[in-house]
Amino acid sequence: MGDTGQVSVGWESVVRAVPGGVGVQEEEALAYVSPTFAGIVGRSREKLRDSPWESLFEPGASERMRAALDAARTGGRWRGEVSMVGAGRVPVELSLSSPAGTDAVVWWLSGRDPEAADEHDAETLPRGTSARLARTVLNTIDDVVYVIAEDSSFWFWNERLAETTGYSHEEIAAMDPMEFIPEDQHEYVPGLREAIESIEDRRVEVDILTADGERVPHEFSGTTFEDPETGRSFRCGVARDISERRERERTLRRQRDELATLNRINALLFETAREAIRTGSWEAVTRVLCEQVVASEFYRFAWVGRFDRGTDRLARVAADGVDGGLETIRTDGPADGEDRDVVRRAVHTGELAVTRRRDGAAWRWDETAVDGGIGSVAAVPLDHDGTVYGCLVLGTERPDAFEPRERTGLEVLGRLVGIVLHAARTQKLLFADSVVELEFEAARGESPLLSVGSELDCTLSLDGYVPGGEGWVLYLSTERLAPTEVANAVGQNPRVETVRAITGGDRSARFEVGVSASSLLDVVTDAGAAVRTATVTPTETRFVVEAPIDADIRRIVDRVVAAFPEADPLATRERNREPVTVGRPGGVLDELTARQREVLEAAYRAGYFAWPRESTAEEVADALGIAPSTVHAHLRKSEANILSELLDTAA
């Protein structure tokens, strides 16, 4: 099969000329090995011949190889990567095939013996080998094997060429070998064009064209040999399908690219955090973020937008690699185009969203980037505890960008910037000259304040609150009811973990209440606002939320009502604060960390600084869920900073 019959040539010569290592196993031993086979393994052919096949492998691999031999005998072929034992541990790609009607197995090692001479010494095939068996050996090799005569016509090809291309043997016999190679790769194929005597032995990767026009990548290698009977020269070549290898290589490249991208995102996280610590300014953080993103070469442009007050539009606050324009992006209703809808999806779901270029579709992101060429875009919400403060938009030329690991890194980056924006909003509220007050009225509900105030004939007021443990510590004052009755009633609420009377009289008292959760405080503080006052009476419940003057008031109201259904908004008003210096930037409190402020306020609310002292440091520590020594340390540092600021300035 595949023999044109034009030239008589010894089949032994063909088998010996096949590049790569060929071996024939009969029963449990190797009956024949080619010189290249011995050279790849690193043993002499004398030692390999008639030796058990198990001697080629480490003991632990014998079971796997026995299963491979069984698969070759039953299924015709087996291929895999293995390590053989010779002069050392030798990794090879091994193909096993079994000729029909025989128990023999043909071994084919992909590789080249670097020490092999150009001319192999004479080697006979196993005793009794016929031309038919030699042909069968070549046909069972799991690669394309071909022999070309001096006139550049096929002399032999094996079954694998017909299986790979889809041509019949009759069609192959009438074809020129070059018809199987794409025109753009003709110059790379050894042995199909040049005079055989001028061909250099080498390996090249080119495609084989199928009958359907498909290109299948193969690795070609060839050897020139001379028929000892006729003296005619032939070129014997082997072409191995490397589609799986190419896919593995693409996967490895993709993984390396993903790792490099992830490393760069980690560097961005570090640089963003460092800038946040250094400056505490969200403007500086977002500017540095955009600059570093574009400088990384993984992204072509970066754009950061923050919500305009009272609107659903994102206004640009920082950008790099952007060709002007794109001052705002709408996120309400229809986006500014289908390709910009990725931003709307990100800010409404709070999850990273991706869009990619589609052939024939409008793609305005090319207009956004300075040099165009954008293949995919990601919108990263800048959020903190469920509140989206803005969006980071990244454009890259990579059409397959933003795979899972890259997404995870960008999501962490988005949350970090969200924390910075949240902190900036909170600090702005703390130092603002003017604020917006949102007044709400609430009906009966599950809140500790509402449940007690509405059921008992008393008035409860919220004097202050600080984070404590996994929840909050509330400081309440009551009037018109005995402290024990109030404490017992408050303690019945399932959200209340601790109740402690700080001071108490016959008809009034101050309490410290630890709660596991507070939907109102959680939502308000996450939005960068604060509950300024809250009062509960048997007939009326009201609380006032204080927000920065440029806050998105509608969003805050919607979030409060959604998380606290008992609340109804009553009024919105702007208020100018009294001129003070202690709490302003550069004032004494500005020198304290957020945790020092919390501990200082908790101690103050608990009466730690009163005379006589109303709470001990241990009681303050228990409420906050920290060690007493930590409370003392925070208070000493706070007092030292405050006194230093006041006295040194006065001096």
As its CATH architecture, domain 580-651 has Orthogonal Bundle (1.10)
Whether CATH 3.40.630.30 fits 11-241: no
Per-residue pLDDT, 276? 57
pLDDT computed for residue 196 by the predictor: 40
Q: Residues 6 or more apart from 76 whose CB is under 8 A from it?
A: 97, 98, 100, 140
Angle between helix axes 617-624 and 594-605 (nearest 10 degrees) is 120
pLDDT at residue 480 is higher than 80: no
pLDDT class of 195 with cuts at 50, 70, 90: very low
Binned at pLDDT 50, 70 and 90, residue 118 comes out as very low
> Per-residue pLDDT for 645 more than 80?
no
Q: Which CATH superfamily is domain 249-427 in?
A: GAF domain (3.30.450.40)
Quick one: tokens of 230? Answer: 């006729």
Report d(CA 611, CA 46) in Å as an integer: 102
What is the predicted pLDDT for the residue at 590?
65
pLDDT level of residue 237 (50, 70, 90 thresholds): confident
pLDDT (0 to 100) of residue 35: 80
Residue 225 has pLDDT above 60, yes or no: yes
Residue 90 has pLDDT above 70, yes or no: yes
Q: Average of pLDDT values for 126-140?
A: 56
Q: What are phi and psi of 10, to 5 degrees?
A: -70, 125
What pairing do the DSSP bridges indicate for beta strands 77-85 and 459-468?
A: unpaired
Q: Which of 252-266, 523-537, 593-607, 628-642 has the lowest mean pLDDT?
A: 252-266
Long-range contact pairs involving 515-521 (C-beta distance under 8 Å, separation at least 24): 515/448, 515/471, 515/472, 515/473, 515/474, 516/470, 516/471, 517/471, 517/472, 518/447, 518/471, 518/472, 518/474, 519/447, 519/563, 519/564, 520/447, 520/560, 520/563, 520/564, 520/567, 521/465, 521/472
Structure confidence at residue 170 (pLDDT): 85
pLDDT above 80: residue 267: no
- The strand pairing partners of 110, in sequence order, are 93
Of the listed ranges 178-182, 441-445, 510-514, the one predicted with least confidence:
441-445
Residue 604 pLDDT: 92
Residue 119 has what pLDDT?
Answer: 39
pLDDT (mean) for 6-25: 60
Tens-place pLDDT, residues 287-310: 888 888 888 778 888 888 887 655
Most confident residue range from 276-290, 380-394, 425-439: 380-394
Residue with the larger pLDDT of the pair 301 and 446: 301
Task: Assess whether the region 11-241 and the region 249-427 belong to the same CATH fold.
Answer: yes
What are the backbone angles phi and psi of residue 53, rounded to the nearest 5°?
A: -65, -25
Quick check: 56 pLDDT over 70?
Answer: yes
Residue 537 has pLDDT above 60, yes or no: yes
Tokens of 25: 């196993």
| Residue 127 pLDDT exceeds 70 | no
The domain locations on the chain are 11-241, 249-427, 434-578, 580-651
Q: Is the pLDDT of residue 277 over 70?
A: no
| Mean pLDDT of all residues belonging to the chain | 77
Q: Please indicate whether residue 635 or residue 585 has the higher confidence score (pLDDT).
A: 635
pLDDT score, position 34? 80
* Per-residue model confidence as pLDDT tens digits over 465-475: 988 877 889 99
Of residues 320 and 584, the one with the higher pLDDT is: 320
User: Is the pLDDT score of 213 beyond 50?
Assistant: yes
**CA distance linking residue 432 with residue 551, whole number of Å:** 12
What is the three-state SS of 137-197?
HHHHCCCEEEEECCCCCEEEECHHHHHHHCCCHHHHHCCCHHHHCCHHHHHHCCCCCCCHH
| Nearest in space to 24 (alpha carbons), one of 58, 1, 49 | 49
- Before 612, cis peptide (omega within 30)? yes
Query: Exposed, middle or buried, 28 (CB in 10 Å: 0-12/13-18/19+)?
Result: exposed
Which of 435, 377, 433, 431 has the alpha carbon at shortest distance from 402?
Answer: 377
The more confident residue out of 646 and 215 is 215
- Rounded CA separation 575/590 (Å): 22
User: pLDDT tens across 616-639, in order?
Assistant: 999 999 988 889 999 998 899 888
- What 238-243 contacts at long range (C-beta under 8 Å, 24+ apart), as own/partner pairs, is 238/18, 238/19, 238/20, 238/141, 238/143, 238/144, 238/145, 239/143, 239/144, 239/146, 239/208, 240/110, 240/143, 240/144, 241/143, 241/144, 241/164, 241/216, 241/217, 242/205, 242/217, 242/218, 243/216, 243/217
C-alpha to C-alpha distance for 607 and 597, rounded to whole angstroms: 15
Q: What is the pLDDT of residue 133?
A: 54
CA-based max dimension of the chain: 125
